[in-house]
Amino acid sequence: MKHIHSFSFPLFFKATCLGLFFVAYSQSVLANNKVDDFIQSIQVSTYDCPDDQFMPQVDEYLKRVSVLPEQLIKIKVHKAHWLICVGKNDQAEIILENLLSDPVMDKNSQSYASVHYQLGFIFDVQGKPEKCEYYRQSEQLSKGKYDDIYLSSQLGLITVCDEDKQEIGVKLGRLFALLKAYSSSNDLKSIAHIHNNIGLLYSSIGQMALAAEQYEKTYELGLNVYEEKNQLAPLISVITAHTGSGDYESAKLVIEELGRRNLKVNTPLTNSWYHFALSRQAYRTNDYESLRKSLRSWKVFLDQISNHTMQRLHEWYTTALCLHEEDRECVQRFLQRQNDTSSAMPARLSKHMHYNAFLVKAHLFLGDVEAANISFDNYSAITSDKIKNQQTSARVLGVANLHNEILGLETSLAEAQEQRLQVILLVLMTILGLTGLVYLTFGRRYLHKLATDPLTGLSNEHSVIAKIRKVKAPLDEKINALALFELNNFTEINDKYGYKAGELGLKKVSECLKHATREKDIVGRVGTHQFIVCLVNIEDVVAQDLFSRIQKALADVSFKVDDGDKISVLSNMHVYSSVNSLSDAEDVLSEIRSVLPKA
């Protein structure tokens, strides 16, 4: 028996080890398949943006040692794409440069082509000449294999490269041919992308009204197919086109649309876009009070992204405000920085007509007549070239005729879409009942989320104003009263301790307001650092007492930051009362805001 046992134990041990190996191998295969499925599910085209909700899982996979090298490359490419979409180009560039030198990278893979395109896009935004070489490489790498990368590369090359080799008419004709080719496929993402590039070319020849139309079409198509962040990008282009043509009223309306849409998106990048648009509008219309407010808010979000062009624009508009306020030191500092290539205005912006007009005023303000004359000569040359280019483009390119052809194509596309909609309508009728059930279950919860400020949990500005507008006239000699509370030291807290400290302060204030008000009172956040409280159908004396208690409670709000410093929140209050309804709540809020800085 002992002899038999001595042979059977090793066999049993080997069988057990082999079984464990197969179990471990099977689990490894399943895990890798799960990663592959995840990578497949999060893929988006180059001209759209990755969904924010998947990024925590992306970051988790990037930390796992069990993820295969090929899978890790795909996840890193996706992360870089997302970073570009949220305005963190510097971080994306580091990832992409490292990927190019990764020995595991397959030179024939989609990832390799995508890395080249994304680097081309980043250099395009930065105004670097290397962009064209990367666009050419990504075009060659993706041809016949990866359609979205190929189209994006083509559009980049047509729009911003080969200026010395192809006339603008040839470029516009190539875009027209692409639009014709894609119009029969109902590929709305690609069609929207092409419209956007047609708008860019129209802008380059000074045809701003035509450019605005193309950007608006990009926006309308994008609403149906693009991820939310990417839906807002065309609106900035529409605003730029209207501003460039001097149509500030139209620009104002689109800025308001951008503000409404951004309530839902609310990222540092889209907030930077919004406040940039407000600042430029205020600067062009000489509204320096609005410029001061928008610059302050813009700076908060600009510090959270990496966009050197927008940084330079913020410095320009800030100095324009200094010039208005006759701050010599501020203006001198800005002009001195223009001698340093690392802080100077980018080449394409330095040739801007309005920038050179500003330089003329700045040099004259400092008494430097010689420098003012040089800037004036530059301004005159730019203005003359602009007029000449506009006349040439209208005559040589036949822009109007080409535009009509594009409209004809869009009509054909609309007819094809109408037929498609008829089929979709039949499907929608079938699922209408289920949709109603889903709405009753989840719709109210979703609508509540849209109406809530994500940071504080209070009603957001759009929601709280809508509630206040519904307040009816008070009864029995009572009043309706509302107060706007503004945090005076919010900007100081952000500048000294960082935006997280500012957010903590806002949360503490919102908690204070929740405890200090009654359930029936209307409370909300109406600005970056402003809150509103509305008391309905209340005695005047009671309203005054309640507002005083709220202000006293806010005076006691304090919190500690990471380094142990204790910060107190400073605020002021402005009260408005009425014996009428509050249907004009927006006007009332605007009036209070105009008075509040003086209080």
Mind listing the pLDDT tens digit for each residue in 304-333? 988 888 899 999 999 999 999 999 999 999
What dotted CATH number matches 39-165?
A: 1.25.40
pLDDT confidence band for 9 (50 / 70 / 90): very low
Query: Among 199, 204, 165, which residue's Cα sits nearest to residue 179?
Result: 199
pLDDT at 6: 41
Q: Which residue has the higher pLDDT, 245 or 166?
A: 245
Residue 300: predicted pLDDT: 93
What local confidence, expressed as pLDDT, does residue 410 receive?
53
Question: Is the C-alpha dihedral spanning 316, 318, 319, 321 positive or negative?
Answer: positive
pLDDT of residue 597: 59
pLDDT at 524: 94
Mean pLDDT, all residues of the chain? 84
- Predicted confidence at residue 436, as pLDDT, reads 57
In the chain, which residues fall in CATH 3.30.70.270? 461-598
Residue range 27-42: average pLDDT?
78
Check residue 279 and give its pLDDT: 95
Return the higher-pLDDT residue of 19 and 292.
Answer: 292
Select the more confidently predicted residue: 2 or 578: 578
pTM score, whole prediction: 0.57
How open is the CA angle 86-457-479, to the nearest 5 degrees? 130
What is the structure's pLDDT at 227?
78
Q: Considering only 88-97, 177-186, 425-434, 527-536, which range has the smallest mean pLDDT?
A: 425-434
Note the pLDDT of residue 538: 92
Q: 487 - beta bridge partners? A: 571
* pLDDT tens-digit series, residues 481-507: 999 999 988 889 888 888 888 999 999
Q: Tokens standing for 545?
A: 């007492």
pLDDT band, very low/low/confident/very high, at 441 (cuts 50, 70, 90): low
For residues 452 and 518, the answer to whether their CB atoms sit within 8 Å is no
Does residue 589 surpass a pLDDT of 50?
Answer: yes
| Average pLDDT of span 116-138 | 92
CATH level 2 (architecture), domain 167-407: Alpha Horseshoe (1.25)
Residue 103 CB partners (closer than 8 Å, separation 6+):
none
How sure is the predictor about 136, in pLDDT bands with cuts at 50, 70 and 90? very high
- Cα–Cα distance for residue pair 271/275, rounded to 1 Å: 6
Question: What is the per-residue pLDDT for 186?
Answer: 78
Overall fold of domain 461-598 = Alpha-Beta Plaits (3.30.70)
Average pLDDT, stretch 512-529? 90
Residue given tokens 């800085």 in the structure block: 597
Domain with CATH 1.25.40.10 in the chain: 167-407
